[in-house]
A and B are shown apart, each in its own frame.
Chain A
Amino acid sequence: MSNTNVQVTNLALEKRKRVSYGMTLLIVGVLMYLFFGLNTQAGVQTTFGLNVAGTQAIVIPDLIVPAQTTIYLMVAIIVFAGAYQLARGVKSTGLLIGIIAFTFVTAFLTWAAQDKSFNLTGMLSSSLVRATPIALAALCGVISERAAVINIGVEGIMLMSAQIAVVTASITQNLYIGLIAAILVGGLVAAFHAFLVIRFKVDQVVSGVAINIIGAGLTSFLSAKYLQSDTLNNSGTFPIISIPILSEIPVLGPTLFANNIIVYLMLVLVVLMHITLFYTPWGLRTRAVGEHPKAADTLGVNVYLMRYVNVIIGGMIAGLGGAYFTIGSVGRFDELMTSGKGFIGLAATIFGKWTPIGAFASSLIFGFADSLQVKLQILRVPIPSEFLLMAPYIVTMIILTGVVGRAIPPAADGQPYEK
């Protein structure tokens, strides 16, 4: 009898969930119809460009779709999915969110680019590029927090690294030396953070905020004093390295295989960190220290050492992310140029459930939102650019609510370890 009761209550919960998700899908569908469908003229076409000008040997035809029909198709898909969800219920929330995201974005782009051409491949490629600093900040978050140290100072670390990178590169006329300097400074500042929170047990968030304030202050100070002329603040940027053959693949090629070194390093780091965390003794120990430091300690694992090293590696990765802002993209330093990317990276860490691949995937979402905003300004969409600029921040806040897939942090995350 009691078991049936358990099922009854479970069913009630399931039903509530099913209805609310189904209604969400339907409402989004109606909104898409009202905003995009009704505002599109019949017979107008939208062109999605699939080639990047002049780089490819193989050119594939652009995707040309009738705008209104496409939007109505998307509305039909989401409404159907919503109705099915109400009637039957789909187990995977991920699938539902995927449907919402896909139909909404497709309808939105079709509407925004109606009667014009919109380069999809260019958009994907710039998403990856814009995701790079976010992903690097997120990877810093993953590796530090897997060892139970929250590093909210990524923003400050990236600012300092960005500055040192451009200055060293300008002086030495060598971008690679700039890159190394950025990585070293990142590691150094992270070591300072680790020292404060491990040795002195300073509140981790407070220490991170202090690093952000010092980072902003110091870089602005130096910038105001020394970087106003070009001699120290003009380094040039890393060239695009196109990987032979692979970069010729349509759509994927220009997106993945024609980037600068920092983007490649980021991709390599994602894979490397995944393997290290889950398939090597170092990773096992790191995770143990983050979950249950006392247990690790009783088995002879040096908790403090693991934390120091992981936080410092995290800082070096964030330093690489900092270098992206200057020698990886514009070749000069501007005050506060990271504009919150470090914090967005932290959100990507959380949304990615503290895994390297998850963090990378979440960063791509942010990168996509970021590059969308730029493209839309070019398309002269009748939405003020400031509102488009807000998009990544709002997406971050929505993601943090955990409505879309709640994650459990490492059990000891943020707590100092006392022997």
Chain B
Amino acid sequence: MSEKASKEKKEQTEKQKEQSSLRQALLVPVLAVLSGLILGGVVMALSGSNPFQAYAALFAGSFGSPSVIIAGMQTYFATGDNNALVRSLYPFTESLVTATPYIFTGLAVAIGFRAGLFNIGAEGQVFIGALCSAFIGYSIKGLPMIIHLPLALLAGAAGGAFWGMIPGYLKARFGAHEVVNTIMMNWIAFRLSDWLLKGPMQASNFRPVTPNVQASAELPRFFEDPLRFNLGFFLALLFAYLVYWFLFKTTLGFEIRSVGANPDAAKYAGMSIVKNIVLVMSLAGALAGLGGGAQVLGVDHWVGQGFSSGYGFDAIAIALLGKSHPFGVVLAALLFGFLRSGATNMQSMAGIPVDIISIIQGLVIVFVAAPAIIRWLYRIKSIKVEETVLTRGWGK
């Protein structure tokens, strides 16, 4: 009896501990984002703009204006015409659309971190994935959607996986540092796509873009134009869950996390470092490639030169902010989706270049990576610093 009681008590304290550790886990990212936004505001103010106006424009651009939404609802209830309501939801759904590739690329960077690898190559992997998906999407005709769409997505994943596998293999076999190599792969991907878009994959006109993909390869949209909200978002959520399951509930995930946390011990325990590094980089590439594919098939329907607005680089901030946990990545991706999506409105309304978001992202990375600064800024004593080695020196 008393044993049972003490066991219950033990469980209770453990629960409390868990809750407080959850608070701990959220405290730093939240404060980091807050600090990033404040400093971003300072930059805006220094460049002669009103940060409050700017952030208001950003908010309206990302969530929509409440008054317009209410008006849309009123029209709907009064007349049954949902046109205005749907249009009022445009900013919000557009933010979700923007968040979709972020979830994919964020996962691609996070899964790398879990294995102790820094995948800066998500950007190139996105490009290659998009090009592969587009190619299957426009070149094959007459397939039913049930085959064509998965095939096109698969092509994107395969292309990205190949692009990620190369630096993975070079790392595993030669110890060549993946940071430099993934960056080199990015540049090669840019040049390659330049060539493809001007040559073999160019649509018949003079612009360097691919033809539109077939309707049978498009990810279905939920609303009429101009709302572009599509199945891709839910696909991203599904993959976030799959990555979570893979990392924490399977033997393969156990190996990957072991290799990331202590490669020597992993080798001692009979795990293959080479296999796991190649596997992780391929998976990361596949996720990023899927992100590119989902963007083409669900949103753009074609690929042009400025196809990616830096999804792969934003992904680094997202993975760090999400503490390399798939669910954290989803939250961080949503945040940056809203920021990026709102920034376009901010640029047109307040005249502030969208690049301000990159500055904020860089600052967020700094704050997340240096919790001590947050602790010092906000005079918090209780933040426990979770030591995780993200990267190692050259070729070790």
- Give yes or no for direct A-B contact (beta carbon below 8 Å): yes
Q: Which residues of A contact B (CB under 8 A)?
A: 150, 152, 196, 200-207, 209-218, 220-222, 224-225, 339-340, 343, 346-347, 350, 384, 386-387, 389-390, 393-394, 396-397, 400-403, 409, 413-415
Interface of B is mostly: helix
Q: Which of A200, A386, A396 makes the CB contact (< 8 A) with B180? A: A396
Instruction: Other than A212-B362, A214-B362, A220-B353, give 9 A-B pairs with Cβ distance below 8 A.
Output: A205-B118, A216-B358, A217-B355, A386-B195, A390-B187, A397-B184, A402-B175, A402-B176, A414-B394
Q: What are 28 sample pairs from A and B whose C-beta atoms fall under 8 A apart?
A: A200-B372, A200-B373, A204-B391, A205-B390, A205-B391, A209-B118, A209-B120, A209-B316, A209-B365, A210-B369, A217-B356, A217-B358, A218-B355, A221-B43, A340-B186, A347-B180, A386-B194, A389-B191, A390-B191, A397-B176, A400-B176, A400-B177, A401-B173, A409-B393, A413-B394, A414-B392, A414-B393, A415-B393
Determine if B394 and A150 form an interchain contact, defined as CB atoms under 8 angstroms apart. Answer: yes
Given contacts A400-B180, A402-B395, contact A202 B369 (CB under 8 A): yes
Contacts of B108 in A (CB 8 A): none
CA distance A206 to B389 in the complex (A): 10
Q: Which of B175, B181, B391 makes the CB contact (< 8 A) with A206? A: B391
Contacts of B391 in A (CB 8 A): 203-206, 414
Given contacts A205-B179, A216-B358, A397-B184, contact A210 B366 (CB under 8 A): yes
Lowest 7 CB-CB distances: which A-B pairs, in order?
A: A217-B358, A214-B362, A414-B393, A224-B353, A386-B195, A221-B355, A400-B176
Determine if B390 and A206 form an interchain contact, defined as CB atoms under 8 angstroms apart. Answer: yes
Within 8 A of A (CB), among B349-381: 352-353, 355-359, 361-363, 365-366, 369-370, 372-373
B313 CB within 8 Å of chain A: yes
CA distance A152 to B183 in the complex (A): 11
Measured between C-beta atoms, what is the minimum distance from A92 to chain B in Å?
21
Determine if A393 and B184 form an interchain contact, defined as CB atoms under 8 angstroms apart. Answer: yes
Determine if B359 and A200 form an interchain contact, defined as CB atoms under 8 angstroms apart. Answer: no
Contact with A along B320-359 (1 / 0, CB 8 A): 1000000000000000000000000000000011011111
Determine if A211 and B362 form an interchain contact, defined as CB atoms under 8 angstroms apart. Answer: yes
Nearest residue (CB) in B for A335 is: B355
Contacts of A215 in B (CB 8 A): 362
Nearest residue (CB) in A for B391 is: A205
Contacts of B392 in A (CB 8 A): 414
Contacts of B184 in A (CB 8 A): 340, 343, 393-394, 396-397
Q: Which of B320, B359, B373 makes the CB contact (< 8 A) with A217? A: B359
Determine if A202 and B358 form an interchain contact, defined as CB atoms under 8 angstroms apart. Answer: no
B188 CB within 8 Å of chain A: yes
CA distance A191 to B36 in the complex (A): 20
CA distance A206 to B356 in the complex (A): 20
CA distance A206 to B363 in the complex (A): 11
Determine if B353 and A401 form an interchain contact, defined as CB atoms under 8 angstroms apart. Answer: no
Contacts of B355 in A (CB 8 A): 216-218, 220-221, 224
Determine if A401 and B176 form an interchain contact, defined as CB atoms under 8 angstroms apart. Answer: yes
Determine if B188 and A390 form an interchain contact, defined as CB atoms under 8 angstroms apart. Answer: yes
CA distance A400 to B185 in the complex (A): 13
B170 CB within 8 Å of chain A: yes
Determine if A213 and B365 form an interchain contact, defined as CB atoms under 8 angstroms apart. Answer: yes
Contacts of A205 in B (CB 8 A): 118, 179, 390-391
CA distance A211 to B352 in the complex (A): 21
Nearest residue (CB) in A for B181 is: A397
Contacts of A413 in B (CB 8 A): 393-394
Measured between C-beta atoms, what is the minimum distance from B309 to chain A in Å?
11
Determine if A400 and B174 form an interchain contact, defined as CB atoms under 8 angstroms apart. Answer: yes
Measured between C-beta atoms, what is the minimum distance from B72 to chain A in Å?
33
Measured between C-beta atoms, what is the minimum distance from B366 to chain A in Å?
5
B317 CB within 8 Å of chain A: yes
Determine if B174 and A214 form an interchain contact, defined as CB atoms under 8 angstroms apart. Answer: no
Determine if B358 and A214 form an interchain contact, defined as CB atoms under 8 angstroms apart. Answer: yes
B150 CB within 8 Å of chain A: no
Q: Which of B183, B372, B395 makes the CB contact (< 8 A) with A340? A: B183
Contacts of A225 in B (CB 8 A): 47, 352-353
Determine if B192 and A386 form an interchain contact, defined as CB atoms under 8 angstroms apart. Answer: yes
Determine if B372 and A214 form an interchain contact, defined as CB atoms under 8 angstroms apart. Answer: no
Given contacts A205-B390, A396-B180, A397-B181, contact A213 B174 (CB under 8 A): no
Given contacts A205-B118, A217-B361, contact A402 B174 (CB under 8 A): yes
B66 CB within 8 Å of chain A: no
Contacts of B356 in A (CB 8 A): 217, 221
Given contacts A203-B369, A221-B356, A403-B174, contact A409 B395 (CB under 8 A): yes
Contacts of A393 in B (CB 8 A): 184-185, 187-188, 191
Contacts of A415 in B (CB 8 A): 393
Determine if B187 and A340 form an interchain contact, defined as CB atoms under 8 angstroms apart. Answer: yes
Measured between C-beta atoms, what is the minimum distance from A222 to chain B in Å?
8
CA distance A41 to B177 in the complex (A): 44
Contacts of B180 in A (CB 8 A): 343, 346-347, 396, 400
Determine if B179 and A152 form an interchain contact, defined as CB atoms under 8 angstroms apart. Answer: yes
Measured between C-beta atoms, what is the minimum distance from B213 to chain A in Å?
24
Determine if B320 and A206 form an interchain contact, defined as CB atoms under 8 angstroms apart. Answer: yes
CA distance A188 to B244 in the complex (A): 41
Determine if B199 and A384 form an interchain contact, defined as CB atoms under 8 angstroms apart. Answer: yes
CA distance A387 to B188 in the complex (A): 9
Determine if B192 and A202 form an interchain contact, defined as CB atoms under 8 angstroms apart. Answer: no
Determine if B170 and A397 form an interchain contact, defined as CB atoms under 8 angstroms apart. Answer: yes
